[in-house]
Amino acid sequence: MYTKPRLQGRPIWHVPDEEIYSKGHLACPGCGVAISARLALKILGRKTILVVPACCFAVIDGPFPHSAAGVPLLHCAFETAAATASGVRAGLASRGDTDTRVVAWAGDGGTYDIGFQALSAAAERNEDILYVCYDNEAYMNTGIQRSGATPFSAWTTTTPAYPGKLEHKKDLGAIMIAHRIPYFATACVSYVDDFLGKFRKAREIRGFRFIHLLSSCSPGWKISEADSIESGFLAVRSRVFPLMEVEDGGSTRRITVNPAPVPVRRYLERQGRFKHLKDGDIDAIQQHVDRRWAELASRFDLPKPAPSHAAPAAARGAFPGADGLARLLQAHAATLSEREREFIRELLSSMWNNPAYASQSDQDLVGLAITLSQLAGSF
């Protein structure tokens, strides 16, 4: 077991030790939403109420009289997460409670499709709620049917392969950003540091906040349970799922993690739901992803290396290559598997020039990356 390093300075994305979301939930092994809930609740804390519509998470939490959430959880009708959460907020306010966090936690079907009207309205009213959409890109609870979030060409039971789904995924991010809400972000547990930071930020902002999580699903994506975190890395690196953040109704727009890109083929080929794709299809998807990225990069700030004045002591240079990394990990070599080393490399690359860590020593940063990767991978 690796023990959590004591970090010098104050890491802003400090991870609380307290486990709120309990073991014994009913998710499939490797389920992205279970990991997401565990990590998100660490940041949101016990003074949180979850509002959950019909979706896998409603089942995962447990049947009566069990509940894994560790915070009050209100099950609501499939299409009503945003409206019900608005009511919970108003009800609490009528009791004088304005600081309990009200979090709608819904799947992509409940968000992109059936719950979209209520979502848009709650965003327009700027309700003081955090809406989290965990996007596993299909209706999983009912057995993997197509949703508005299912990507082009993916197999589902209602878009049989070949050719899979004929339409592209709805660009929900653009739609939510167009509502000019106080906070919008995309996140994925694979980039756990980025994930936690966004939840921490969302926690402190008042008004309507929306976090779009890419959430792996082994039966739905036809991936190995052990590939959950890896698929998230590849989604981000291939730019299929860019990690971004928009604040103050659009006044700041940034890509928060921008690792060295890999071809989209690497993301697709690990997932059974894309295994029917032909080379031409993959090329078409690559072009689509490139086009979207170019659009995004023209409108969003890309992460900059730490400005030198913020980090007089430890301005880091380029991310170390294989040898440099081996040296950094040397002290922990005995406890790390090949897989873990790969995760840590990926995480470190996203943290390396993040100004938040400018004051940490390289070794501290490595320690933090190890802790984070174990947090993400150990559930």
Partner 1 sequence: MPRRELLTGNEAVAQAVALANAQVIGIYPITPQTTIIEKICDLAAKGAFHPRIIHVESEHSAMAAVIGAAFTGARTFTATSSQGLALMHELLHWAGGGRLPIVLANVNRAMAPGWSIWTDQNDSLSQRDTGWMQFYCESAQEVLDTTLLAFRVSERVMVPSMVVLDAFVLSHTSEPTEVPDADTVAQFLPKYEAPYRLDVEKPCSFGALLRPPFYQEVRAKLQEAMEGALKEIDEADQLWRKLTGRGWGIVSGYRHEDADILFVTSATTASTARVVIDRLRVEGIKIGGLKVRVFRPFPFEELRRALAGRRLAIIFDRNLSYGHHGIFAQEIKSALYGWRGAPPVSCYVGGLGGRDVTPESIEGMVRRSLGERNGELFSWVR
Ligand X SMILES: Cc1ncc(C[n+]2csc(CCOP(=O)(O)OP(=O)(O)O)c2C)c(N)n1
Rg (Cα) of the chain, in Å, rounded? 20
Rule CB under 6 A: is residue 32 a binding residue for ligand X? no
Nearest to 225 by CA among 191, 272, 164, 160: 272
Rule CB under 6 A: is residue 35 a binding residue for ligand SF4? no
If contact means CB under 5 to 8 A according to the sort of partner, which of partner 1, ligand X, ligand SF4, none does residue 108 touch? ligand X
Q: Interface with Mg ion by CB under 5 A: which range of 89-97, 102-110, 120-128, 156-164?
A: 102-110
Q: Give the footprint of Mg ion on residues 212-251 (CB under 5 A).
A: none
Task: Between 33 and 240, name the residue whose CB sits nearer to ligand SF4.
Answer: 33
Out of 5, 11, 28, 78, the only residue in the binding site for ligand X (CB under 6 A) is: 78
Q: DSSP strand E in the chain: where?
A: 48-52, 73-75, 101-107, 130-135, 183-188, 209-214, 243-247, 252-257
CB of 60 vs Mg ion, minimal distance in Å: 12
Task: Between 132 and 234, name the residue whose CB sits nearer to partner 1.
Answer: 132
CB of 109 vs ligand X, minimal distance in Å: 3
Q: What gap in Å lies between CA 179 and CA 175, rounded to an integer?
A: 7
Rule CB under 6 A: is residue 352 a binding residue for ligand X? no
CB of 180 vs partner 1, minimal distance in Å: 17
CB of 141 vs partner 1, minimal distance in Å: 11
Nearest to 135 by CA among 109, 165, 116: 109
The pairing of strands 243-247 and 252-257 is antiparallel
- Taking each helix axis from N to C end, the angle separating 322-329 and 362-377, rounded to the nearest 10 degrees, works out to 80
Q: What gap in Å lies between CA 88 and CA 103, rounded to an integer?
A: 10
Task: Between 221 and 300, name the residue whose CB sits nearer to Mg ion.
Answer: 221
Q: What gap in Å lies between CA 15 and CA 43, rounded to an integer?
A: 7
User: What are the CA-CA distances from residue 109 to residues 114, 119, 133, 202, 267 (Å)?
Assistant: 6, 12, 9, 23, 23
Q: Which residues bind ligand SF4 (CB under 6 A)?
A: 27-28, 31, 33, 56, 60, 136, 140, 217-220
The contact set with ligand X (CB under 6 A) reads 54-57, 78-79, 107-110, 136, 139-142, 147
Contacts with Mg ion by CB under 5 A lie at 107-108, 136, 140
